[in-house]
Amino acid sequence: MFHSAVTAYNVFDATPFHRDPLKELSVACARHGLRFGFYYSQAQDWHEPGGAGNDWDFPSDSEKDANGAYDRYLRAKAEPQVTELLTAYGPVCLIWFDTPRKMTAERAQRFVNIVHSLQPACLIDGRLGTAGDYVSTHDNTIPSTGEEGDWETPATVNHTWGFKKDDTDWKSPGEIAFKLVDIVSKGGNYLLNVGPTAEGVIPRECQENLRSVGRWLKVNGEAVYGAGRSPFGPEYGEFSAAQKNADGTPVFLERSDWRCTTKPGRLFFIVFHPAREGLVLPSFQSRIKSAYFLSDATRAPLKLEADKGVRTVRTPFDLPNPMANVICVEIGDTQVRL
């Protein structure tokens, strides 16, 4: 999908399009102040005899590995193409490597060295075959509880990574908003994939759903952008004492009533399924200075009640937003005291 000098099998040389879409994207991103990165499948290449993945036209991956064809493919094509991407498209913020078949630590380190030598500020994801700058979970997999370190969940808006005309099972705006907040509250990043058509158009239903989430974020984005993970944890759910997965591990019973994100001196409680009595706060020692809806420009205080050490933020029955409402709780400490 770019004009590569390594092989003529590319969108510029081998198709009537005869343009480099990634060059055009890099120019557009620079014009609008957006950071630009690449997806690159370093191991799988169904066109090349030595690349991993194609065992119907070529030998098995094990044979390619044993006879040196795989290493010849990496050195003759994959590594030179990564060099091209890092030298012909301006500053690159990220190379998202994928499916590390047969990628030993030594092979992966060769790619790391290329990236670090050409663009030291470029991030490397968690699927190269060696430790990257952060961890990538399995596709559409969100950890059950909070995770330490930098990590992300790569996810789809339906069930398809590219475009598939008969996959119309779109995630609703509410589902996308919940997954976003759930991931942020656990300390992660939501890498959300959209699959444009062959004409480069994002399907209308997908556009509408994302715009709905965007409208919610315009009002409540302070609880998401740059926010830290929850200091609590029981809100995520618990492991079942009776139900087991196929591998014998306990089933995690997820709760989805609310999630919490943080900024210095503030707790953001994102409420998805409000209780009639309001929000019963988890136990913490910090003094509460005020509580209000983040969507309320006047910051009108919500009533706070305490009973036997349990504090409850009373909310009106008719809440401002049917998707989710954010209650900002300002506290007397920079970090909450548990």
Tens of pLDDT, residues 153-173: 999 999 999 999 999 999 999
In this structure, what is the dihedral angle of CA atoms 145, 148, 154, 156, given to the nearest 10 degrees? 30
In this structure, what are the phi and psi dihedrals at residue 185, rounded to the nearest 5 degrees?
Answer: -65, -20
pLDDT at 51: 97
Distances (CA, A) of 264 to 147, 226, 311: 20, 11, 21
122, 94 in Cβ contact below 8 A? yes
The DSSP code for 199 is T
Pairwise CA distance, residues 223 & 226, whole Å = 8
Pairwise CA distance, residues 200 & 314, whole Å = 47
Considering the chain, what percentage of its residues have pLDDT values greater than 70?
100
Q: How confident is the model at residue 257 (pLDDT cuts 50, 70, 90)?
A: very high
Span 269-280, average pLDDT: 92
Residues of the chain with CATH 3.20.20.80: 1-133
Q: How confident is the model at residue 6 (pLDDT cuts 50, 70, 90)?
A: very high
pLDDT at 106 over 80: yes
Q: How confident is the model at residue 319 (pLDDT cuts 50, 70, 90)?
A: confident
**Cβ neighbours of residue 305 under 8 Å, at least 6 residues apart?**
311, 312, 314
Residues of the chain with CATH 2.60.40: 234-331
97, 134 in Cβ contact below 8 A? no
CATH fold of 234-331 reads: Immunoglobulin-like (2.60.40)
pLDDT at 277: 83
258, 279 in Cβ contact below 8 A? yes
Q: Which CATH architecture has domain 1-133?
A: Alpha-Beta Barrel (3.20)
The DSSP code for 167 is -
Spell out a b/e string for 137-173, using b for 16 or more CB atoms within 10 Å of the CB, else e: beeeebbeeebeeebbbbbbbbeeeebeeeeeebbeb
